[in-house]
Structure 1
């Protein structure tokens, strides 16, 4: 029995300058299915769904949702027509409570006689949070009281409580721990069971195959093919995405490990309230040191602490020459790079250009007076090395896809020629081809004697790329594992739980 179409998209097109981000794409999404939309960074996935959900205006073409043509003016308007999105980056606003974020743009239901009933809003928000099993999140609290993952869970509630006909999940899993992903997958399955539709965007092919009924592939803004998830393999999907067969050898193939180099940076008895407890480690020149663990284990704070970016940090972070790293300026001046998991808020100036973002840490070495021509050449060189898909380096970072934003972060530190790289979730939201390129780049930097810290929630990434792996649990280091052919996911998991 053929399924009924929920969303009918015809000739959807969007241009940014001369670039066709989406090139006359026509697609149908059925009721009662999870329909994955996949492709490399810059293939048009997010642009397509951003038009559907009112984040950007429709260029050409039409969206027909459950028989009604829609042209949403903004996200709230899209919600009222039955289309909602959970984005990859942070989608909540500081300065507002959890409740105010949940009902932002939709406060009218709590206004009577021109007066907002804040108590009723908080009560309704808390009831919704409780119904999703998130009772530890308090609707009355300022949203900034909660970490990145909890804020994403608030967004899930915000985007689904009203029962949208189409829910877009845009690379959201990359921002979540395993527990957070389980929460999200439960919501996605519930939408499907209610005969509504999920459009699922992810670079994790195993995840796509496990969760989806149908998969559509975009490449360079164009529609390539729609397949049934049960009739296709990971390798076949990768080939459809990139237009050629991909090698399976993404990771390092050597297994001798490396700790021969001198210590580049040390952390001794470092504590951060509710984040780290007496953590000590050495990062050597010429090694990739991995840090893994479950959500809230403290691993993401390690990078900040080493970079001098932690609040209320105690203990010592010192370089080989004895320099104490207590602040970000000291770190940058001593050739330390840091890429945060929360790239929009901590690693990028999203309201600035690609050129300014890439050149910022390298302005001093360019010399005075600053040359605009030299800056542009510098930015173009490293944007090209990282294959940033863009109109040009004058384009604002905010207009890029999540994966291309991550490439700009890495291009910045590649250009700075940093000796110590602290990388938190470096391949988050990155497509398969570029992920392989980043792994090759990290391996080359290791061979050059650079000291690299990789913090990752992807166990196979740690096993495949690191010389040593520190596993954290309850804000402490719970064990250390050496690089080995025999090392398995279970070895890490045993130390995490």
Structure 2
């Protein structure tokens, strides 16, 4: 085993989804000991090519070579057992079973004797791995459903690492992790590289790529646009070069807001009054018309729960949530009063993956489209097509299923369902998670248009730079309460907030 020895090659890989061409003959060569960054806009093909390598799906044409032999895995489990594992962007754990059973899914034979699976032995082995990777607070015997999205991603990480591991593919996973979770992942991928294993880090975060990767491949529209060495990546203007390769043009216009005017209406649109539930105690907040209120903090600080409460998804013990003076007791109330909610957990809470783009967009608006017992298909088409055009959603038409879209286009659908409804109070939980820099800029522009139109926006995010760049008023939460408040300012920096988070 030698460092820089070629371990994997994808040659002229093409992938088509009906009329959509995801890969147009892409080539990639991976070597032992490297941490290869893979970057590109949503829909560029970066996740597609590695999902083919990891056995998630097959190519339309082309060939793959792994360790000198033709490579055609029959499934992700098959690929994992032979040394190629992929951690997906969205949740990929099996509900209703234990953490241990998730970690050893497909490997039950290792704990089977005389046809009986030795559960206690499996739990002990799983706990040893959790402890080894410094996440021993997760208990192998627990049902996996009791853990949050971040913890389930770390459980997936443990599942992917076995004694046969040769190539680990990490697909946008860091966007779902806290600072501590990211450190666990970064430490592990560097350990793998030092052991002459190969890591592929798929990310939209250029800073992350430059800090942790030893090489970089840029994709655009299903084609390889460039490959950069570590030396290339250390040049002073490299971030701009990467962006140019990603989108094929220089970025124009503002990225975040360019103004520092936080003046807004005195009219309160969304109000939390002495809200108490779970570990949230006596929480108070007003969001005004034409105001963007940001909430930030570390994972587990309570900010995501506040977003859910604002949409009527949490049962309050005390206090109330008001929308224009009306009490919000349920998400049905929230929709009725004009509140939209973009969930952090896009694939499980915000979208119906096995439904069409049109069905997802028009769903909150169906009562408005209904005339008697009849809903006009023409009205549905017109409403859906308007939002598809507004958000530049890349698709064949509104009948295309959402599960065939890239992460950025899925997120656009999440936004479009509420603009179609005419919601004028929007709760956004991690609104740009897992989307590329071009889509982020577009979404920020849409958020500013909402603000200018007088909408009230509650933006919850784990990215402090995003909150600083977009918020009129920024709250930091720690231990389920507000620990700091900041007004919009040109001098505001993430470092100003760290002490309020930890």
TM-score range, shorter chain: over 0.9
Q: Are the aligned partners of 1:83 and 1:167 in contact in 2 as well (CA < 8 Å)?
A: yes
With over 3 angstroms needed to count, the CA separation of the structure-2 counterparts of 1:203 and 1:313, relative to structure 1, is farther
Is the 2:266–2:288 Cα contact (8 Å) retained in structure 1?
Answer: yes
CA contact (8 A) 1:305 1:313 kept: no
1:350 aligns with 2:353: yes
Residues 473-484 of structure 1 correspond to what in structure 2 (within 5 A)?
Answer: 473-484=478-489
String of CA shifts for 1:449-469, please: whole Å, max 9, x gaps.
000011011111111100000
Equivalent position of 2:291 in the other structure = 287
Contact kept? 1:179, 1:295, Cα under 8 Å = no
**CA–CA distance in structure 1, aligned partners of residues 315 and 102 of structure 2:** 26
Aligned 8 A contact 2:275 2:316 in 1: no
Following the alignment from structure 1 to structure 2, what is the Cα–Cα distance between the partners of residues 96 and 221? 37
Aligned to 1:189: 190
The match for 1:421 among 404, 409, 426 is 426
Q: Deviations over 1:201-233 (max 9, x none)?
A: 111111111111111111111111111244141
Q: What is the root-mean-square deviation of aligned Cα atoms in Å?
A: 1.5
Q: CA deviation at 1:50?
A: 1.2
| Matches for 1:294-373 after TM superposition, within 5 Å | 294-311=298-315, 313-320=317-324, 322-368=325-371, 369-373=374-378
Tell me the CA shift for residue 46 of structure 1.
1.2
1:267 and 1:306 in contact (8 A); partners too: yes
Query: Separation in 2 of the partners of 1:263 and 1:214?
Result: 50
After superposition, give the CA deviation of every residue in 1:275-318 in whole Å (9 maximum; x if it has no partner). x2221100100000000011211111111010010245532101
Please give the alpha-carbon distance, in whole angstroms, between the structure 2 residues aligned to 1:199 and 1:315.
48
With normalisation by structure 2, the TM-score equals: 0.96
CA distance 1:143–1:2, shift in 2 (3 Å): closer
Pair 1:243-2:248 in alignment: yes
- Partner-residue secondary structure (3-state), 1:479: strand
User: Residue in 1 aligned with 2:281?
Assistant: 277
CA distance in 2, matches of 1:132, 1:344: 27
The 1-side partners of 2:31 and 2:384 are apart by 43
Structure 2 match to 1:492: 497
Q: Distance in 2 between matches of 1:154 and 1:314?
A: 35
Q: CA deviation at 1:47?
A: 1.1
Tell me the distance in 2 between the aligned counterparts of 1:250 and 1:229. 27
Q: 2:171 maps to which residue?
A: 170
Q: Give 1:376-395 correspondences, 5 Å limit.
A: 376-395=381-400
TM-score (norm 1): 0.97
The Cα offsets for residues 383-434 of structure 1, whole Å up to 9 and x where unpaired, read as 2322222233222222222222212111111211211000000011111111
Q: Deviations over 1:16-60 (max 9, x none)?
A: 112210111111111101101111000111111111111112221
8 Å CA contact 1:54, 1:78 repeated in 2 = yes
Aligned length: 495
